[in-house]
Amino acid sequence: MLDLKYVAQNFDAVVARLQSRGGSLDLGPFKSLVSERRDLYVAMESLSARRNTANEEMKRKAKEDPAALEALRGEMRTVSQTIKEKEARLKEVEEELSRILLVIPNIPHESVPVGGGAEDNVQVRSWGEKPNLPFTPKQHFELGEKLGMLDFERAAKVSGSRFAFYKGALARLERALVSFMIDVHTPKGYVEMLPPYLVLRETMMGTGQLPKFEEDAFKTVGEPERFLIPTSEVPVTNYHADEILDGDQLPRKYCAFSPCFRAEAGSAGKDTRGLIRQHQFHKVELVKFATPDTSLDELEKMTDDACDILRRLGLHHRVMLLCTGDMGFGARKTYDIEVWLPGQGTYREISSCSDCGDFQARRAKIRYRAQKGDKPQLLHTLNGSGLAVGRTTIAILENYQREDGSIAIPEALVPYMGGLKELRPM
RNA sequence: GGAGAGCUGGCCGAGUGGUCGAAGGCACCUGACUCGAAAUCAGGCAUACCGGGAACGGUAUCGUAGGUUCGAAUCCUACGCUCUCCGCCA
């Protein structure tokens, strides 16, 4: 959420910056609501001040002058009534304002290239090379099914489309990747976290998934309603909601494994085969809480921490700086890491690392105190996949495939696989 | 799910209709004392918004939302959360 005062004071500049993200932006009656809000506050405050002084008088007159007390009581009755009416209107105005503010995306940082979509993203670096496979590489789902280790048909029977059963050594590989990733991150200062997978509406509001993207989330029935997390960014970022952290404890770094649940509304027909786009997948997420002056630097480090996993697995990848039109709702700057998939013959996103500035912190009320005695101020939140586990499994299948359909296991994972060095049909 | 107790400032905790933004303590900051520190003493110390150059003044906030009242931390209603006991359960 953007700062009300900031938007009001820099209205045209803000609108211009937001339009670079593309899409429609309707700030509606924002400006008139802001001035009405202000007028209401002024009126209410002077009425309240009047009531408070009258109450002082009444305390005294209660004993000395019962007649005057009655007169005052009558007057105050109407004053109180007026205050209540103004209060009611103010509530409406504020609700309307926050309805508007809550669906405004973050303002892109000035270092973000302006562009309309993925084609305007800028490659900032790459690592490794495409593997030189002397045969026509297969896609991961074909490899997985031939191994007898991926079963989409039975998953559809049990759960509908966009689900999968992993079996045998491939299930173990997914589990091994989780442990491996966490073990790489924690020595770098990320505190391991196992978060709740169901969260309240206000938690989804805090990180920006709601109110705008409700159709993307799975929701439980019954009271209170809860949402299946689309990423552990949601519970972990909100872990510090309504808190004031000490400046000398920043940055705080967390690393959380969780399944992620996404309705994938609006992606009908996209990536329908295989593991690329499922309703449920695993992710190891990195979350940081940083001071405003360090957050961009922390974003660079976080992106590199995510890349480190791919380097250790020997997977060729590139880092893309997203343009204004391709960034997520809460981000002010985002790097996507794209891994090379030989079977698909394309790069696919395997991680997305974002600096959200104070956008989420304002929603979730996460602040810090730079020095003892200083005023609390909003901190900056960052999050990034480190990595999407299912897509890492895909990358291993496609990059380490052999002509006979077996899969070599990257050396770094062998200890996590109990010494197993390859996947063979079961 | 049932019964009971509770929810007050960074923390602990007093406060049952006006004198309460809220005693006292801890923590923290400043000053005195000290070579320095500890101890002690004095003072300060919530957040947000509005007005003001500032000093300062105003308004709101005692789990949340309503209600009663001229006036609510205090009374009433609902809800949430925490703790204890019982039941159930991986």
**Total residue length of chain A:** 426
The values of phi and psi at residue A355, to 5°, are -100, 120
Residue A264 counted as an annotated binding residue: yes
Sign of the alpha-carbon torsion through A8, A9, A15, A18 = negative
Residue A97: pLDDT band (50, 70, 90) is: confident
Q: B26 C1' – A79 CA distance, angstroms?
A: 43
Q: B49 C1' – A76 CA distance, angstroms?
A: 24
Q: B64 C1' – A36 CA distance, angstroms?
A: 27
Q: List residues with CB under 7 Å of strand B.
A: A 5, 38, 41-42, 44-46, 48-49, 51-55, 58-59, 62, 73, 76-77, 79-80, 91, 223-224, 244, 372-373, 375-376
Angle CA(A354)–CA(A11)–CA(A374) in degrees, nearest 5? 60
Is residue A164 within 8 Å of A151, Cβ to Cβ? Answer: yes
Instruction: Give the pLDDT confidence of A270-297 residue by residue, as tens digits.
Output: 888 899 999 999 999 999 999 999 999 9
Residue A90: pLDDT band (50, 70, 90) is: confident
Q: Which of A323, A366, A397 is nearest to A131 (CA)?
A: A397
Instruction: Please list, in sequence order, all residues whose beta carbon lies within 8 angstroms of the beta carbon of residue A62, skipping any fewer than 6 positions away.
Output: A69
Residue A394 tokens, joined? 């895909």
Please name the residue that has the structure tokens 């296991």: A409
Give residue A63's pLDDT.
63
Q: Which of A387, A399, A139, A352 is nearest to A281 (CA)?
A: A387
Give residue A242's pLDDT.
82
- ipTM of this complex: 0.80
Is residue A178 within 8 Å of A166, Cβ to Cβ? Answer: no
Q: How far is CA A57 from the centre of its chain?
A: 54
Give residue A387's pLDDT.
93
pTM: 0.91
- Asked whether the predicted pLDDT for residue A7 surpasses 70, the reply is yes
Residue A338 counted as an annotated binding residue: no
- Asked whether the predicted pLDDT for residue A265 surpasses 90, the reply is no
Q: Specify the range with the lowest mean pLDDT, choosing from A225-229, A231-235, A369-373, A382-386.
A: A369-373
Better pLDDT: A241 or A120: A120
Is residue A315 within 8 Å of A263, Cβ to Cβ? Answer: no
What are the structural domains, with CATH classification, of chain A? Answer: 4-103 (1.10.287.40), 118-423 (3.30.930.10)
- Asked whether the predicted pLDDT for residue A141 surpasses 90, the reply is yes
Give residue A62's pLDDT.
66
Catalytic machinery residues of A: 262, 277, 349, 352, 391
Distance CA A147, CA A69 (A): 90
Residue A137: pLDDT band (50, 70, 90) is: very high
For chain A, the average pLDDT equals 91
Q: At A355, is the secondary structure helix, strand, or coil?
A: strand
Using CA atoms, how far residue A206 sits from A289, A348, A376, A384, in Å, is 14, 29, 18, 17
